[in-house]
Amino acid sequence: QHWSDEDCLNAIGDLFLAIGHSFTHFEDLADYTDLEHFRRDCTWPFHSVVMYSDSYEEFKKRLDNVENFFLYARKQNQIGIKRALELCELEVMEAKEKGFNTSINRSILESCFNLYSEKLGSLEQLDIPGILGEIEKDIEGQECLPLEQWTPSFKQTVVPILLAEVAAVWIIIESKDVLNIKKKIEPHCVQILCILRLLGVDNLEKGVPKHFAQVLTGQGKSVIFGLLGAVIALTGNKANVVCYSRYLALRDKMAFDNFFELFSRFQIKNEINYQTFDNIVFDSLKLIVDNTEESMNSVMTDLILNKLHPQSIRVPENHSTPVLLIDEVDVFFSDDFYGKTYNPCVNIGMPALREIQPKLWEIVEGGLYEKSIVKEKVRDFITEILKDEKYAEFKTFIANTNSLFEQHLEIMVSNAISVSKQKNESVWFIERYKIDFYGLICCRNSLGIYSSTTYNNYYNIFNYFRLKKENFDDKYYINYGYLKLGYGSLSYANLPLRYNSILGVSGTLMTLDESEKTAMKNYGIKTMSAMPSFFGERKLVFKSTEHFIVQDSESNWHSKIFDHILENIKHNRAVLVFFDTDIEVKAFEEKYRGNINRLYVLIGNEESSAMEWRINEAGVSQTVTLATRAM
């Protein structure tokens, strides 16, 4: 397959970075008696990626696998199952001391893990079709039951077997570039323990309890949810994997799409959905119109334009609910979601408004800010354009919904005047906007991410005009030319209440405060797990009285951060500095960029390729990455 010049250049850069990252593992040389074997093990995986990748996308995926091999798989045996279980028990004891309701049955977990290991070993000589045949035999005759009806016997005998079969398929596709050095990439025993804990194998009661687990940063939450989702789907259940970040949800979906596709005979790919919190709320607003499922936006548009009779609409019947898998549970409990509402709206594109809204901006930019006069001039303009037959539909719309349009015209005029009058001031409805790489107006949301689907009345439209200045392009009614109608508010906090089965992971579960623990109980979260590190006992110790420092000015705050950065760079460490917003990141960057050699910024608004590159670089020695809390 022909590669473009851009793909070739990107591949060369990616390859250099990956090889550079692998240099940190030269310490393994001490384990070799033959230098030639060491050279082979260090270079052949990269050679395999270069020689056998048919596209840049495949090249990048395989290269990531090789990087993960050097980062994690070579440390696969750092701790075994017995040590992992010991550390799990220690984490459970610490969790109890912090007020969490949790327990662990070590003997059952060890027995289930051994069953998993034995089955995995028995599959080593099989190819993927052979493993799928084993799955078919094992699920044949098994009744498809929701998680709340799983028996202890099913959890302790069938689940470990299915997990081993799913893992065996994953191992084959992940290990293709390290097999030539007689190595393989396997899920770590800690990851398998986490899945077994989440599926309640050591719980002797019927059903899978609602369960949250702490999985440390960089310890494979994506792999845990990928394998977990596959097991859930193979048992006849649906899984909704939900995350706060569109980038992370899309990344994980793309990472596992091909894996799920391998199970096509079981049709699990359609049963596992990767979504954001907003997606899952929006998807709940489906209606049935003439026996066809339609989005609320579509229904609202047709109702407003008199294309739909209300009597043809009905609410869909309740079917079995999916299993809710929440990634980054701690973010869900943050102020950005818990206690906030999702406020859906529909933008109804109208050709006439593509003329009216730029005209309104032209009027106020001429220095006319008296609202009543502005509205009078806009109405005169509307009267004039309605003489044109091509705006007949808009003429009918105004005739039928005049009071509705007048309400929105009032808001449009008010927003246009505010943006024009205060365009040089530091006010929220000016600072939050920018035009992105694709020419779309974007508003910064509460997470600090610029989004073309976040709206504040009609400020988006007039900030687009302000920033673009000329040669306006509505981009199919995204930038302007629409009527914005909201249709209610839905509480994020109520979202989990619709699910019978909830499983979640987070990197910082043990730091939840009392109100967040209370919220867990309200959702029926009966237990939690705190998984140990791949590399053994954690060395990180945070003492709030010693490690939390308050400065009396922003300047001193910046200076203190810079001192900490320099101290860590001296020890050849990578440094991550998290700020609340992108504005704070930029303020620090402008002040100290000239004093730090390898300084990168990560605020979540970068193109996906740039974001991925900076994330990969964040762990490189003496690299400093400034990031927002959303990252």
> Residue 291 above 90 pLDDT?
no
69-84 confidence digits (pLDDT tens): 776 655 666 678 888 8
* Residues 197/129, Cβ–Cβ less than 8 Å: no
Handedness of CA 501, 506, 509, 511 (dihedral sign): negative
pLDDT band at 459 (very low <50, low <70, confident <90, very high): very high
Compute the average pLDDT of residues 12-35: 72
- Rounded-to-integer distance, Cα 74 and Cα 26, Å: 12
Give the model confidence (pLDDT) of 212-221 as tens digits. Answer: 988 887 778 8
Which SS3 state, helix, strand or coil, does residue 381 take?
helix
- Region of 32 (left: φ > 0; alpha: ψ -120 to 50; beta: rest) is beta
Banded pLDDT at 362 (limits 50, 70, 90): very high
pLDDT per residue as tens digits for the range 529-582 = 888 877 666 666 777 777 788 888 888 999 999 889 898 888 888 889 898 878
| Dihedral pair phi/psi, residue 359, rounded to 5° | -65, -40
Cα–Cα distance for residue pair 326/215, rounded to 1 Å: 13
Average pLDDT over residues 343-371: 92
Q: What is the mean pLDDT of residues 377-386?
A: 92
Whether residue 95 contacts residue 102, with contact meaning beta carbons closer than 8 Å, is answered with yes
Q: pTM for the complete prediction?
A: 0.82
Domains of the chain as residue ranges with CATH: 5-73 (no CATH), 78-281+496-530 (3.40.50.300), 350-486 (no CATH), 544-628 (3.40.50.300)
Say which range, 130-134, 276-280, 317-321, 592-596, has the weakest mean pLDDT.
317-321
Q: Rounded mean pLDDT of the chain?
A: 86
Residues 6+ apart with CB under 8 A from 110: 81, 82, 85
Residue 472 has pLDDT above 80, yes or no: yes
Give pLDDT, residue 253: 92
> Which pLDDT belongs to residue 540?
67
Dist CA 168 CA 267 (whole Å): 18
pLDDT, tens only, 426-449: 888 888 899 988 899 999 887 778
Q: What is the CA radius of gyration of the chain?
A: 28
Is 617 a residue whose pLDDT tops 80?
no
- By mean pLDDT, which of 27-31, 236-240, 388-392 is the weakest? 27-31
- 288 in helix, strand or coil? strand
Rounded CA separation 408/627 (Å): 38
For residue 490, what are the β-bridge partners? 342
Residue 335 has pLDDT above 70, yes or no: yes
Q: What mean pLDDT comes out for the span 56-72?
A: 78
Residue of 463 and 19 predicted with greater confidence: 463
Above 90 in pLDDT, residue 225? yes
